[in-house]
Amino acid sequence: MSVAILEFARLSQIDPADIIALMNHPGVRRHMPLTQDGFGPADCATFVAAKQAMWDEYGYGPWAFLIDGAFAGWGGLQPEGDDADLGLVLHPAYWGYGKMIFDRIMAWAFDQMSFDSVTVLLPPSRGSARATRRLGFAPDGEITLGGELFLRYRLRR
């Protein structure tokens, strides 16, 4: 993998067709139990508005990720109760860039936002959480959202 240029942008700057294609990709949907079938233009508009509302209310929220100028996915920190929860949704063509994106988000979370910890919620369908543990996250219980069970992991500063 060559050195890539990573940029963060607002989701509102991304062509909705690109977001729709990502959210409907079978490899992505497999790990998103809260996503309904048939993510279309109205769903996309609601999704982008909800993510922007997080920025407006909390001062943080998800970004769009651009790798060498191309939309690669979205993610970042989202408020989940009293926690800042990490989400990272990448198109399978960009799965090898997750660590680079993670490092940038964590530097921002701990250095600029001064969070004491960050959580990540994984559906049991993700199987082993070895990669999550390698990044320093430790098991921190379970949570049910939208009727779906998630395993929570926490990374402390």
pLDDT tens readout for residues 63-120: 999 999 999 999 999 998 899 999 999 999 998 899 999 999 999 999 999 999 999 9
Q: Using one digit for the tens of pLDDT, what is the confidence trace for 88-98?
A: 999 999 988 99
Which CATH number does the domain housing residue 19 bear?
A: 3.40.630.30
Residue 52 lies in a domain: yes
Burial class of 129 by CB neighbour count within 10 A (0 to 12, 13 to 18, 19+): middle
- pTM beyond 0.95, yes or no: no
In the chain, the number of structural domains is 1
46 found inside a domain: yes
The predicted model gives 18-25 an average pLDDT of 92
Instruction: Please give the residue range of the domain that contains residue 54.
Output: 6-115
The helix or strand, by DSSP H or E, that contains position 153, with its residue range, turns out to be strand 148-156
At 121, which amino acid appears?
L
Residue 124, domain member (yes or no): no
Amino acid code (one letter) for 44: C
Residue 1 resides in a domain = no
